Amino acid sequence: MRVPKMVLMVVGLSLVLWAANAEFADTIKLDTGGLRRANFPSGFIFGTASSAYQVEGMADKAGRGPSIWDVFAKIPGIIAENATAEVTVDQYHRYKEDIDIMKHLNFDAYRFSISWSRIFPEGTGKINWEGVAYYNRLIDYMLKRGITPFANLYHYDLPQELEDRYMGLLSDKVVKDYADYADFCFKTFGDRVKNWYTFNEPRVTSALGYDNGFFAPGRCSKAFGNCTAGNSATEPYIATHNLILAHAAAVQRYREKYQKTQKGRIGILLDFVWYEPLTRGIKDQYAAQRARDFHIGWFIHPLTYGEYPKTMQEIVGDRLPKFTEDQVKLVKGSFDYLGINQYTSYYMYAPHTPPKALGYQEDWHVGFAYSKNGVPIGPKANSYWLYNVPWGMYKALMYVKDRYQNPTVILSENGMDDPGNVTIPEGLYDTTRINYYRNYIRQMKKAIDDGANVIGYFAWSIVDNFEWRSGYTSRFGIVYIDWKNNLKRIPKLSAYWFRQILSSVTN
């Protein structure tokens, strides 16, 4: 097959040093769809995101203790091709290179996560000062390069010691232990970090960790997965209750002890798939609303109104924990801003068969559809769950605006993946990813124009990395990682697209 001239140009451009190709890169003119930095409100933040476990490496070195993902990933067959995150992209050693790339691409900020077990190897007690020193180096270099740090305190990676000691998120003991860990981070890094998040996608932690067992710690009822232990009818709800209380306890610590002097802000990162009714029928309308309530409502409703959504209370009944009066006061309003991770959308319909057993996903009482009248909801990316549906971005943001008092929002994750085995020329010539970003960002801008209080956007991800169960068979990065050549970073065409729209020069 003949390789297009543009592909060859991009490969040639990318395989040389950044300093040597900067002027040449600026000659590439890409279709921005009319997007440019000047279109957005003053102070609007553009950044990229990653998580500690997916990019750092040094998983069993430099004093870091194991997390539940280290143990889970060692189960044969759990991770595609039995991959591990022991090295991944080695950002622990190569953070300067990655930050320099962000700076060159004109990004304003980096949303990273702190590994709890790198700070407290046993979850509590002894501090690993070598880990503290790493995050100090990372934060200091970001600031040196003019990149604003956005720190997330938890991205799926509970210290394994706490899982062993008291079953982790299933015990209310985790609330204080997490708040103590967060307190240490505020005290240690808060003089430089002014943007904090407590948890990334806690719904995923509860649903995939305790309902179907697909993520660590891999617990579920026998009816829903090949788990050795668990109860899908109760454990997802218990885990979420403790996650919400841990979040609120950390926010309370920050507000009472640090916020006034450090002058920062704190929130939580929630994933939100947009659920569109399959038909105009009332049953499908109700199904879509149940899905929204059980998905984002599970967290944002208590944080806004002090209770779980009524639909959840009615369906789940006594299996759903209740907040005490004191807990309501702690939880309600416990955020300065929200992160919304938005990737895809699905059609929802009223199911034709009853649930097979009690469980979180079964409690939704919905059916999923990915096409309507034979037409797919959108083109499919590499991941089985990811369809390209830009209009879902607009609807998701407007839903949060209208139903939850128009909170301040950061669009904290958005992106799509290619297969892990894509060749360098094919991987670098990622026009499909450019189209994805262009169309989603335009829909975000439409929501902003219609009153949604969105103040920033973070692309997922800066580099290809360890993609959980998919290992290295999935590439979300705007920078290609050459796994066979010393983890060489090679910017993709999408990286130059962002550089172009984020330039201070009018396009």
Query: Residue 177: pLDDT above 80?
Result: yes
Token pair recorded at residue 24:
């040449």
**Residues ≥6 apart with Cβ < 8 Å to 294:** 309, 311, 312, 360, 363, 364
Please confirm, yes or no, whether 235 is among the known catalytic residues: no
Q: What pLDDT does residue 23 have? A: 57
Please state whether the predicted TM-score (pTM) of the whole model is above 0.75.
yes
How does pLDDT run across 301-333, given as a tens digit for each residue?
999 999 999 999 999 999 999 999 999 999 999
Predicted confidence (pLDDT) at residue 21 exceeds the cutoff of 70? no
Report d(CA 348, CA 432) in Å as an integer: 26
Distance CA 91, CA 98 (A): 7
The answer to whether the beta carbons of residues 83 and 125 sit under 8 Å apart is: no
Confidence check: pLDDT of 459 > 60:
yes
The per-residue pLDDT for 7 is 47
- What is the average pLDDT across 397-424? 98
pLDDT band at 24; cut points 50, 70, 90: low
Residue 406 has pLDDT above 90, yes or no: yes
Backbone angles phi, psi at 111, to 5 degrees: -95, 105
**Per-residue pLDDT reduced to its tens digit, 478-493:** 999 999 999 999 999 9
Is 70 exceeded by the pLDDT of residue 359?
yes
Mean pLDDT, range 73-84, rounded to an integer: 96
**Calpha distance 390→120 (Å, rounded):** 40
pLDDT band at 1 (very low <50, low <70, confident <90, very high): very low
Percent of the chain residues past pLDDT 70, beyond the cut: 94
Catalytic annotation present for 81: no
Model confidence at 17: pLDDT above 50: no
Catalytic residue among 161, 163, 413, 467: 413
**Containing H/E element for 30?**
none
pLDDT at 257: 98
Binned at pLDDT 50, 70 and 90, residue 6 comes out as low
pLDDT band at 29 (very low <50, low <70, confident <90, very high): confident
What is the pLDDT at residue 26?
A: 59
Q: What is the pLDDT of residue 468?
A: 98
The mean of the pLDDT values for the chain is 94
Asked whether the predicted pLDDT for residue 117 surpasses 70, the reply is: yes
DSSP-based three-state secondary structure for 10:
helix
Angle between helices 91-104 and 129-144 (to 10 degrees): 10
Q: Which amino acid is at 319?
A: R
pLDDT band for 4, please (50, 70, 90 cuts): low
Sign, CA torsion 32/34/35/37? positive
Q: If residue 127 lies in a helix (H) or strand (E), which one and from where to where? A: none
Considering only CA atoms, which of 494, 468, 493, 269 is closest in space to residue 384?
468
pLDDT tens digits for range 429-438: 999 999 999 9
**H and E: helices and strands count for the chain:** 21, 17
Q: Tell me, what's the pLDDT at 32?
A: 87
CA distances from 58 to 47, 53, 97, 216 (A): 25, 9, 17, 19
Check pLDDT > 90 for residue 8: no
Answer yes or no: is pLDDT of 27 > 80. Answer: no
- Of 56, 163, 201, 235, catalytic: 201
363-379 average pLDDT score: 97
Distance CA(459)–CA(341), nearest Å, equals 10
φ and ψ at residue 298, rounded to 5 degrees: -55, -35
When pLDDT is averaged across residues 264-285 and rounded to a whole number, the result is 98
List all residues 6 or more positions away from 299 whose beta carbon is below 8 Å from its beta carbon: 202, 203, 240, 244, 268, 270
CA distance 79 to 1: 33
